[in-house]
Each structure stands twice: as C-alpha cells, then as structure tokens.
Amino acid sequence: MNILDAEAHISDAAPAEFRGLDRYEARAKVLERLRELGLIVQVERPYVHSVGRCYRCETEIEPWIHGQQWFVKVDPLKGPAKEAALDGRITFWPRRWERAYTQWLDNLRDWNISRQLWWGHRIPVWYCPNGHQVASVEDPTTCAECGSAELVQDPDVLDTWFSSQLWPYSTLGWPDETPDLRSFYPTTALVTGYEILYLWVARMIMSGLFLAGDIPFFHVVIHGLVRDPQGRKMSKSLGNVIDPLDAIAGKGADALRFGLAYQATEAQSIPFGEEHLDAGRRFANKVWNAARLVLAVREESGVPDLPAATAWTLPDRWLLSRHQACLDEANAAFEAFRFADAAHAMHRFIWSELCDWGLETAKPRLYEGSPEDRRAAVEVLVWVLERSLRILHPIMPFVTEEAWQRIGPGESIMVAPWPQAHPEHRDEDAEVRFGFAQELVTAVRRFRKTHGLKDSAPLAVRVLPVGAQREVALELRPEIERLAGISGLEILDAAPDPTGCARLVAAGAQVLIPLAGVLDPDVERGRLAKRMSSIEADLAKGEAKLAGEGFVSRAPVNVVEKERRKVAALKEEAATLAAQIEELG
C-alpha cells in the first residue's frame, strides 16, 4: 500500500484526516492520535538508526512503491557472454577476474532498467488510454493497436548502465555499417576498475554480442581503485583527495602518470599520495639530467651506430646487457598489461644502472679520455639513452618527447618504432664481473654511512679477490677508487693480518679497511652495543605483547598489525647492527 504520493504527501490510501499532509506534519499528527487512543507503549530517546539521504541535497529518502517497472530478460544474453570468456575470445587481466565474471553471470537475474531520475535516456515505451503499450525507436504518433493519438511516454529513464553498455558500438555509428564500426569494433582492450566489472564490462559484452554481433573487445584489463596512502577511499569529507589538475600544475603530468603507474600493481587498492608524486617528479628530473649530460658531450646529432664490439669496455658490455634485460622485462610487462612492472623496470634501469653506474664509469673517458675513447663512450650512451626514452615514453610522454627531440632522430617519439631486441647483448660474464666492482664500491659506501664517516674521510681499502675478480680489480681500479671515494685500492695475493681493520665481504672477496686515524673500533663497538641493548629490550617487549592472547584477540586489527611491523623492523635493525659489530672484529 502506497501511503505517499510523488511529492511525499499522504495519499488517498490513508485515513481521510491525514490525506494531503506533508510527511513531517503527518508524523506529528499520527503520534498525537496514537496517544489519544492509548496506543503508545514506550518512548526511547535517543533512538539511532540508519536514514537514507540524497547525496546532493541531504533530503531524507522515503521508500516508495513505484508503478510499472521494465526489465531486461538476461537468460538469452548471459550464456554467450560467459562462453566468450571461457573459449578465450576475451581475456581478463589479471586472470583471476575471469572466474568472478563468469560466477556473476551464473547468478544474474533479470535486470530492472527503470529509473526515476530527471536526466537520462527516456524509456522508449508509450501508453494509450485504452491500455495498450507501444515500444518504438522513433516517437510514434498513434497507437499501433487501436490508432489512438493520445499517447503518453513512460516517465522513467533507462538505467545509466543500460545506456553505458552501448558505448563500444554506438559511438562508431551503429546500427549503420560505418567505416569506423568496421575498423574499431571489436577494439583491442578495455581498461577499467574492478568495481564496474559487473555494472559495465559484463553488460557491454552481453549487449555487444546480441546487438552488434561480436564481442566489444579482446582484452579486459582490471585495475585497483586509487586510494590515499592509508588505503582509505578518497573523499572531500576526509580531505584526502588529490586533484589531478593540481598535481599536474604542481609536479607535472609525467610525475602524476609515473606515480600512478608505479603503484598500479594487481592489488585491488592503489595507495597514492604526495610521496608518489614527488617520486615521479624526481624520476623525471633524473631522466632529464641524464639526457642533458649525454647530449652535452656528443659532437653530432642523431643516433649513432654502436661501435664495434671489440671496442666495448667491461662497463659498456655490462650496460648493454642490462639495457637488453630492461627491454625484455618491459616487453613482458606491457604484453601482460602489468604497468607497475614496466615502470619498476624502467626506474631501476635508468636510475640505478644507467645513471648510478653507466654514466659514472664513463665520465673519465668522456672528460679525460682520448678522442677515440670519448667517441666510443658517447656512441654507446646515446644509443642506450635514445632506446630507453622510447621504452619509457608510454608512461612519461612529455619529458621523453622533449629529450628525444634534442637527440634529433626523427619527427616525434610518438611515431618512432618500438626498440628491437638485441639478445646478443645479454652478457652474463660481464654482469658477474662488473657486479663484483659494484658490490665492492657499495660495501665501502655502506661502511662509511653506517659508521657516520664523512665522504671526505680518507679510506684505504685492501681486497683479496677470488678468481676472475683480480682481473676486474686491476682493470677497473681507477673507477672503483673514484666511485668509492678511497685513497687507494690494494689488491692482495694472500690473506692479510686483519688486526686493526674492519672486515667486509664483497661477492665473496675479503675486504679490509684499516681503522687507524679513521675511527676507534672500541668506541664504535661500544656505541653499537648500546644501541643493540636498547633494541633488544624493545624487541622483548614487542614479542611479549604479541605472545599475549589478550592483546591479539582484543586489540583492533590495525593496532596488532602495527605492532607486528614494529617487531619486524627491530629484528631487521638488530641484524644490521650485529653485522656492523662483526665488521669491526
């Protein structure tokens, strides 16, 4: 029984004394009559319950029995849509969403498409006074059954998703057989959030097969929802929204794109905050500065050919090998729509390999080498840089276009071909040999940092190489001394007396750093032992708390998880301190 009319006034279905009253007036009057009749048993205040409100004007929403509703019969639609996924015509990425999609179709019931909204596609049904219904694509002038001209269109509009499901083909001129429809239907891939897999994706597939005669797309790429760093949904009320236009104005479009891509794993939530924008901005700067350095030392524009392999140094061989590894990783990631993996691969190669090692080891040849050495180094670096910009371009289009234009290989990086693979550049021997030099430099740098030594503090390093490491140490001694900031690298033939030295290990090689004049090992050991004692005390408290059943069962889940992370961090720091104490003997 409907006691309300469309304006939320009491209808004729109620007793006469209440008819026509506003709902709020009627509530007060009903309460008054209940009291008069002695039917009030008890009054509770406050009584809290859920009240639906309009998201625009905050008006209370009343449940209301509406008139005739229209439905889509789904049984003829869902079978073909399910089969399209099971037979491989449509592929879901990640693959786990195929099961969710097919299970939803199995349980799908007829779809109500009548909506009581102001805006939308009107339901194409007209009624005549004689009770007939006319469904028509074009507005009818008379009833098809009785000829009456007094037609009234259904007041409701179609469900938003009913209209949205038509998008893949209606935008291309359907139902006419247009060139656009022939060219772009089906399209290659749909990329969307998981929350509309059922609302939109499934319905596009059902309607596309039924109305257009084919699947709407070959791949469905499902990504998570962008949330704030705490995993909360972004909302104005929480004040945790990042406006893309503000982000672009402050940090740049490339920073925003890269920050999002870097976080776009297969998880259902994508935490995103200012730190990710800053990381993207720093990476854009790194790419730009690397390009400036390389282009500042070249003599001719364009992309040179690589020098003959016989002219490649060990760092050249290593850089070309790592570049090919990056291309292989990016290709596999893009083909599987794993955009985060592609972003991680490019970030690791450009920042940690090209800039931190490739450019740094090439600087002596670039600035102090012979003309032949300089030319060979430039040719390798420009070749690697230009290809790296092309790989990175889909994620960071603006900085890569700007840098690529300055290299001068063509009209635009957007239409440049994707880099071809050079599997012959993969060089495991070069990676192992150069990897020893990297580990040696890193071990010395880490020693400085962990013991609070300034970069200017003079350090002498002795190393006892293993096997081919001796050749590497001799070949790259100047680079190792410069990158590690040491006064000299002594290459030993036999195990030395370690007394008075810090003992490190790099790729299995023994590394000794004399401590005289650098730091007092007894004082440093005491400092580290004091810190270790404090950590062990905090660790014991944390483990005891987690061992207590009361804390784990009663405390909020996020509090328990925070305590577990704290204990894990303390264990990691304790292990690091133990290693530092062991280094000092």
**Residue 283, Cβ neighbours under 10 Å: how many?**
24
Give the burial string for 63-100 (b: 16+ CB within 10 Å, else e). eeeeeeebebebeebbeebbebbeeeebebbbeebbee
| DSSP3 helix / strand / coil % (the chain, rounded to 5) | 55, 10, 35
Place of tokens 């970069």: 455
Distance CA 460, CA 501 (A): 10
4: β partners: 10
> Going by DSSP bridges, is the β-strand pair 217-223/225-227 parallel, antiparallel, or unpaired?
unpaired
ω into residue 46 within 30 of 0, thus cis?
Answer: yes
Whether 514 and 460 have beta carbons less than 8 Å apart is answered as yes
> Going by DSSP bridges, is the β-strand pair 501-506/114-115 parallel, antiparallel, or unpaired?
unpaired
Token couple for 383: 């070749």
Whether 18 and 25 have beta carbons less than 8 Å apart is answered as no
Which stretch of DSSP H or E encloses residue 535?
A: helix 521-547
Say which amino acid occupies 245: L
Whether 509 and 499 have beta carbons less than 8 Å apart is answered as no
User: In CATH, what number does 522-583 get?
Assistant: 1.10.287.380
**Residue 410, Cβ neighbours under 10 Å: how many?**
13
Whether 211 and 174 have beta carbons less than 8 Å apart is answered as yes
Distance CA 48, CA 41 (A): 19
Closest CA to 242 of 225, 226, 258, 255: 226
Q: Work out the angle at residue 534's Cα, subtended by the Cα atoms of residues 528 and 536, and round it to the nearest 5 degrees.
A: 100
* Local structure of 172: helix, strand or coil: coil
Closest CA to 499 of 478, 487, 483, 516: 516
**CA-to-CA separations, 430 to 322, 346, 436, in angstroms, rounded:** 10, 21, 10
Q: Lay out the sheet containing 509-514: strands in order across.
A: 488-491, 460-464, 509-514, 501-506
Closest CA to 303 of 398, 392, 405, 399: 405
Full DSSP string of 231-275: SPBP-TTTT----HHHHHHHH-HHHHHHHHHHH--SSSEEE--HH
Q: Would you tell me which CATH number, out of the four given (1.20.210.10, 3.30.70.1150, 2.60.15.10, 1.10.730.10), belongs to the domain 244-409?
A: 1.10.730.10
Whether 378 and 294 have beta carbons less than 8 Å apart is answered as yes
pLDDT tens, N- to C-terminus, the chain (585 residues): 889 998 899 999 999 999 999 999 999 999 999 999 999 999 998 999 999 998 889 999 998 887 789 999 999 999 999 999 999 999 999 999 999 999 999 999 999 999 988 889 999 999 999 999 999 989 999 999 999 999 999 999 999 999 999 999 999 999 999 999 999 999 999 999 999 999 999 999 999 999 999 999 999 999 999 999 988 889 888 889 999 999 999 999 999 999 999 999 998 899 999 999 999 999 999 999 999 999 999 988 899 999 999 999 999 999 999 999 999 999 999 999 999 999 999 999 999 999 999 999 999 999 999 999 999 999 999 999 999 999 999 999 999 999 999 998 889 999 999 999 999 999 999 999 999 999 999 999 988 988 888 888 888 999 999 999 999 999 999 999 999 999 999 999 998 888 888 888 899 998 888 888 887 777 777 878 888 888 889 999 888 888 888 888 888 877 888 888 888 888 887 887 787 778 777
What does the domain layout of the chain look like in residue ranges?
1-65, 71-117+156-223, 244-409, 430-519, 522-583
Distance CA 506, CA 263 (A): 33
Whether 151 and 140 have beta carbons less than 8 Å apart is answered as yes
User: In CATH, what number does 430-519 get?
Assistant: 3.30.2320
Distance CA 262, CA 264 (A): 6
ω into residue 556 within 30 of 0, thus cis?
Answer: no
- What pLDDT is recorded for position 549? 81
Whether 111 and 198 have beta carbons less than 8 Å apart is answered as no
Whether 482 and 526 have beta carbons less than 8 Å apart is answered as no
Whether 464 and 494 have beta carbons less than 8 Å apart is answered as yes
Distance CA 317, CA 425 (A): 7
